[in-house]
Amino acid sequence: MKITIMTLFPEMIENAVNCSILGRARQNGLIEIEAINIRDFANNKHLQVDDYPYGGGAGMLMMADPVCRCYDHIVEHSSVAPQHVLYMSPQGKPWKQQMAEALSSEEHIVLLCGHYEGIDQRALDAIVTEEVSIGDYVLTGGELAALVVADSISRLVPGVLGKAESFQDESFSDGLLEYPHYTRPAVYRDEAVPDVLLSGNHQKIAAYRREMSLINTFNKRPDLLKRAKLTEKEKYFINE
Protein backbone atom coordinates (compact mmCIF):
# COMPACT_ATOMS: atom_id res chain seq x y z
CA MET A 1 0.00 0.00 0.00
CA LYS A 2 1.21 3.48 -0.82
CA ILE A 3 0.19 6.73 0.91
CA THR A 4 1.25 9.98 -0.71
CA ILE A 5 0.94 13.08 1.45
CA MET A 6 0.74 16.48 -0.27
CA THR A 7 2.06 19.12 2.14
CA LEU A 8 3.98 22.38 2.50
CA PHE A 9 5.89 20.85 5.44
CA PRO A 10 7.21 17.41 4.38
CA GLU A 11 9.68 17.35 7.30
CA MET A 12 6.75 17.11 9.74
CA ILE A 13 5.64 13.91 8.02
CA GLU A 14 9.07 12.38 7.42
CA ASN A 15 10.18 12.64 11.04
CA ALA A 16 7.04 10.98 12.30
CA VAL A 17 6.82 8.07 9.88
CA ASN A 18 10.44 7.01 10.42
CA CYS A 19 9.78 5.88 14.01
CA SER A 20 8.48 2.76 15.69
CA ILE A 21 5.99 0.45 13.94
CA LEU A 22 5.53 2.63 10.84
CA GLY A 23 9.29 3.06 10.44
CA ARG A 24 9.78 -0.73 10.61
CA ALA A 25 6.92 -1.38 8.19
CA ARG A 26 8.40 1.08 5.69
CA GLN A 27 11.85 -0.50 6.01
CA ASN A 28 10.33 -3.94 5.41
CA GLY A 29 8.53 -2.65 2.31
CA LEU A 30 5.04 -3.34 3.72
CA ILE A 31 3.93 0.24 3.29
CA GLU A 32 5.23 3.22 1.36
CA ILE A 33 4.58 6.67 2.79
CA GLU A 34 5.92 9.63 0.83
CA ALA A 35 5.60 13.34 1.49
CA ILE A 36 5.56 15.60 -1.58
CA ASN A 37 6.28 19.29 -1.13
CA ILE A 38 3.56 21.36 -2.81
CA ARG A 39 5.98 24.32 -2.89
CA ASP A 40 8.10 22.43 -5.46
CA PHE A 41 5.23 23.01 -7.91
CA ALA A 42 4.98 26.78 -7.45
CA ASN A 43 5.19 28.35 -10.88
CA ASN A 44 6.73 31.70 -9.93
CA LYS A 45 10.13 33.19 -9.08
CA HIS A 46 9.60 33.42 -5.32
CA LEU A 47 8.00 29.97 -4.97
CA GLN A 48 4.90 31.64 -3.58
CA VAL A 49 2.11 29.18 -2.77
CA ASP A 50 -0.41 31.40 -0.95
CA ASP A 51 -2.28 34.61 -1.68
CA TYR A 52 -4.97 36.91 -0.26
CA PRO A 53 -8.55 35.61 -0.43
CA TYR A 54 -10.92 37.30 -2.88
CA GLY A 55 -13.62 39.14 -0.96
CA GLY A 56 -11.26 40.00 1.87
CA GLY A 57 -10.99 38.43 5.31
CA ALA A 58 -8.13 37.45 7.54
CA GLY A 59 -5.32 35.12 6.53
CA MET A 60 -3.89 33.68 3.35
CA LEU A 61 -5.12 30.91 1.13
CA MET A 62 -3.14 28.19 -0.66
CA MET A 63 -3.36 28.82 -4.41
CA ALA A 64 -4.99 26.26 -6.70
CA ASP A 65 -2.18 25.96 -9.26
CA PRO A 66 0.67 24.49 -7.09
CA VAL A 67 -1.80 22.03 -5.55
CA CYS A 68 -3.15 20.88 -8.94
CA ARG A 69 0.30 20.68 -10.52
CA CYS A 70 1.56 18.67 -7.54
CA TYR A 71 -1.35 16.25 -7.94
CA ASP A 72 -0.73 15.93 -11.72
CA HIS A 73 2.89 15.03 -10.94
CA ILE A 74 1.78 12.35 -8.46
CA VAL A 75 -0.58 10.80 -11.01
CA GLU A 76 2.04 10.90 -13.79
CA HIS A 77 4.65 9.19 -11.59
CA SER A 78 2.41 6.55 -10.01
CA SER A 79 2.38 2.97 -11.21
CA VAL A 80 -1.10 2.70 -9.63
CA ALA A 81 -3.34 5.76 -10.02
CA PRO A 82 -4.58 7.00 -6.61
CA GLN A 83 -8.08 5.68 -5.87
CA HIS A 84 -8.83 8.26 -3.16
CA VAL A 85 -7.72 11.83 -2.49
CA LEU A 86 -8.60 12.77 1.08
CA TYR A 87 -8.52 16.45 2.02
CA MET A 88 -7.75 16.92 5.73
CA SER A 89 -10.35 19.45 6.83
CA PRO A 90 -12.26 20.45 9.97
CA GLN A 91 -15.33 20.50 7.70
CA GLY A 92 -14.89 16.85 6.69
CA LYS A 93 -16.54 13.60 7.66
CA PRO A 94 -15.37 12.48 11.14
CA TRP A 95 -12.53 9.94 10.72
CA LYS A 96 -13.52 6.49 12.01
CA GLN A 97 -11.91 3.08 12.41
CA GLN A 98 -14.31 1.66 9.79
CA MET A 99 -13.00 4.20 7.25
CA ALA A 100 -9.42 3.18 8.06
CA GLU A 101 -10.41 -0.48 7.56
CA ALA A 102 -12.03 0.24 4.19
CA LEU A 103 -8.99 2.14 2.90
CA SER A 104 -6.38 -0.31 4.20
CA SER A 105 -6.94 -2.62 1.23
CA GLU A 106 -6.44 0.12 -1.40
CA GLU A 107 -3.20 0.25 -3.33
CA HIS A 108 -2.62 3.99 -3.43
CA ILE A 109 -4.26 6.90 -1.61
CA VAL A 110 -3.38 10.58 -1.43
CA LEU A 111 -3.78 12.81 1.63
CA LEU A 112 -3.92 16.56 1.01
CA CYS A 113 -2.87 18.94 3.82
CA GLY A 114 -4.08 22.51 3.87
CA HIS A 115 -2.42 25.37 5.74
CA TYR A 116 -3.23 28.99 6.58
CA GLU A 117 -6.96 29.54 5.87
CA GLY A 118 -7.13 26.46 3.66
CA ILE A 119 -7.01 25.84 -0.10
CA ASP A 120 -8.63 27.57 -3.10
CA GLN A 121 -11.94 25.74 -3.64
CA ARG A 122 -11.17 25.13 -7.32
CA ALA A 123 -8.24 22.84 -6.44
CA LEU A 124 -10.44 20.94 -3.98
CA ASP A 125 -13.19 20.56 -6.60
CA ALA A 126 -10.66 19.31 -9.15
CA ILE A 127 -8.87 16.60 -7.17
CA VAL A 128 -10.50 15.73 -3.83
CA THR A 129 -12.75 12.66 -3.48
CA GLU A 130 -13.50 12.97 0.28
CA GLU A 131 -12.98 15.52 3.06
CA VAL A 132 -12.08 14.05 6.46
CA SER A 133 -11.83 15.64 9.88
CA ILE A 134 -10.01 14.26 12.90
CA GLY A 135 -12.24 16.19 15.32
CA ASP A 136 -14.27 19.29 16.00
CA TYR A 137 -11.37 21.68 16.51
CA VAL A 138 -9.14 23.65 14.15
CA LEU A 139 -5.46 22.80 13.63
CA THR A 140 -2.86 25.10 12.04
CA GLY A 141 -2.36 22.63 9.22
CA GLY A 142 -3.43 19.24 7.89
CA GLU A 143 -0.13 17.46 8.64
CA LEU A 144 -1.07 16.14 12.09
CA ALA A 145 -4.41 15.01 10.72
CA ALA A 146 -2.70 13.26 7.77
CA LEU A 147 -0.41 11.45 10.21
CA VAL A 148 -3.41 10.28 12.23
CA VAL A 149 -5.10 8.99 9.08
CA ALA A 150 -1.91 7.40 7.67
CA ASP A 151 -1.08 5.71 10.99
CA SER A 152 -4.56 4.29 11.54
CA ILE A 153 -4.66 2.88 7.99
CA SER A 154 -1.08 1.56 7.93
CA ARG A 155 -1.39 -0.52 11.10
CA LEU A 156 -4.25 -2.46 9.46
CA VAL A 157 -2.13 -3.47 6.45
CA PRO A 158 -1.35 -7.20 6.80
CA GLY A 159 2.05 -7.78 8.38
CA VAL A 160 2.52 -4.25 9.77
CA LEU A 161 1.56 -5.26 13.30
CA GLY A 162 3.32 -8.26 14.75
CA LYS A 163 1.30 -10.96 16.49
CA ALA A 164 1.96 -9.24 19.82
CA GLU A 165 0.37 -6.02 18.53
CA SER A 166 -2.67 -7.54 16.88
CA PHE A 167 -5.61 -5.24 16.23
CA GLN A 168 -8.29 -7.98 16.30
CA ASP A 169 -9.51 -7.37 19.88
CA GLU A 170 -9.03 -3.65 19.95
CA SER A 171 -11.46 -0.85 20.64
CA PHE A 172 -13.93 -0.44 17.73
CA SER A 173 -12.98 -3.75 16.07
CA ASP A 174 -16.24 -5.28 17.38
CA GLY A 175 -18.03 -1.96 17.91
CA LEU A 176 -17.08 -1.80 21.61
CA LEU A 177 -14.22 -0.28 23.58
CA GLU A 178 -11.54 -2.69 24.72
CA TYR A 179 -11.29 -4.26 28.20
CA PRO A 180 -8.55 -3.13 30.68
CA HIS A 181 -5.07 -4.70 30.49
CA TYR A 182 -2.59 -5.69 33.19
CA THR A 183 1.03 -6.83 33.09
CA ARG A 184 3.58 -7.90 35.72
CA PRO A 185 3.82 -7.62 38.70
CA ALA A 186 0.61 -9.37 39.80
CA VAL A 187 0.34 -6.96 42.77
CA TYR A 188 1.35 -3.32 42.40
CA ARG A 189 0.98 -0.84 45.29
CA ASP A 190 -1.48 -3.20 46.95
CA GLU A 191 -3.60 -3.44 43.79
CA ALA A 192 -3.90 -7.02 42.54
CA VAL A 193 -4.60 -8.15 38.97
CA PRO A 194 -8.13 -9.69 38.75
CA ASP A 195 -7.87 -13.37 39.76
CA VAL A 196 -9.54 -14.62 36.59
CA LEU A 197 -6.62 -13.38 34.45
CA LEU A 198 -4.25 -15.63 36.42
CA SER A 199 -6.59 -18.63 36.30
CA GLY A 200 -5.46 -19.98 32.93
CA ASN A 201 -9.13 -20.66 32.09
CA HIS A 202 -9.48 -19.17 28.61
CA GLN A 203 -13.26 -19.38 28.53
CA LYS A 204 -13.58 -17.50 31.81
CA ILE A 205 -11.00 -14.94 30.68
CA ALA A 206 -12.90 -14.33 27.43
CA ALA A 207 -16.18 -13.92 29.34
CA TYR A 208 -14.56 -11.52 31.83
CA ARG A 209 -13.04 -9.45 29.03
CA ARG A 210 -16.32 -9.26 27.13
CA GLU A 211 -18.08 -8.05 30.28
CA MET A 212 -15.38 -5.45 30.98
CA SER A 213 -15.61 -4.30 27.34
CA LEU A 214 -19.34 -3.76 27.76
CA ILE A 215 -18.88 -1.93 31.08
CA ASN A 216 -16.10 0.26 29.63
CA THR A 217 -18.26 1.18 26.65
CA PHE A 218 -21.29 1.80 28.84
CA ASN A 219 -19.28 4.15 31.08
CA LYS A 220 -17.18 5.96 28.48
CA ARG A 221 -19.01 5.80 25.11
CA PRO A 222 -22.62 4.63 25.60
CA ASP A 223 -23.43 5.92 22.11
CA LEU A 224 -21.42 3.00 20.65
CA LEU A 225 -23.63 0.36 22.30
CA LYS A 226 -26.57 1.10 20.00
CA ARG A 227 -24.58 0.05 16.92
CA ALA A 228 -22.61 -2.85 18.49
CA LYS A 229 -23.55 -6.49 17.97
CA LEU A 230 -24.96 -7.60 21.33
CA THR A 231 -26.54 -10.81 22.56
CA GLU A 232 -30.08 -10.64 23.99
CA LYS A 233 -28.61 -10.71 27.51
CA GLU A 234 -26.10 -7.97 26.70
CA LYS A 235 -28.88 -5.67 25.47
CA TYR A 236 -29.42 -5.03 29.18
CA PHE A 237 -26.65 -2.41 28.80
CA ILE A 238 -28.71 -0.46 26.26
CA ASN A 239 -31.85 -0.52 28.35
CA GLU A 240 -30.09 0.65 31.54
Q: Report the binding-site residues for S-adenosyl-L-methionine.
A: 114, 134-139
Minimum CB distance to ligand SAM smaller for 108 or for 115? 115
For residues 88 and 142, is the Cβ–Cβ distance under 8 A? yes
> What are the two backbone dihedrals, phi and then psi, of residue 143, each rounded to the nearest 5 degrees?
-65, -45
Binding segment for ligand SAM (CB under 6 A), chosen from 77-85, 114-122, 159-167, 220-228, is 114-122
Could you say whether residue 130 binds ligand SAM (CB under 6 A)? no
> What are the two backbone dihedrals, phi and then psi, of residue 89, each rounded to the nearest 5 degrees?
-155, 135
Could you say whether residue 135 binds ligand SAM (CB under 6 A)? yes
Nearest residue (beta carbon) to ligand SAM: 114
Residues contacting residue 114 through CB under 8 Å, at least 6 positions apart: 62, 87, 88, 89, 141, 142
For residues 168 and 105, is the Cβ–Cβ distance under 8 A? no
Minimum CB–partner distance for residue 85 and ligand SAM (Å): 13
In the range 165-194, which residues lie near ligand SAM by CB under 6 A?
A: none
Could you say whether residue 58 binds ligand SAM (CB under 6 A)? no
Minimum CB distance to ligand SAM smaller for 28 or for 121? 121
* Alpha-carbon span 48 to 36, nearest angstrom: 16
Could you say whether residue 70 binds ligand SAM (CB under 6 A)? no
| Amino acid letter for position 182 | Y
Minimum CB–partner distance for residue 67 and ligand SAM (Å): 11
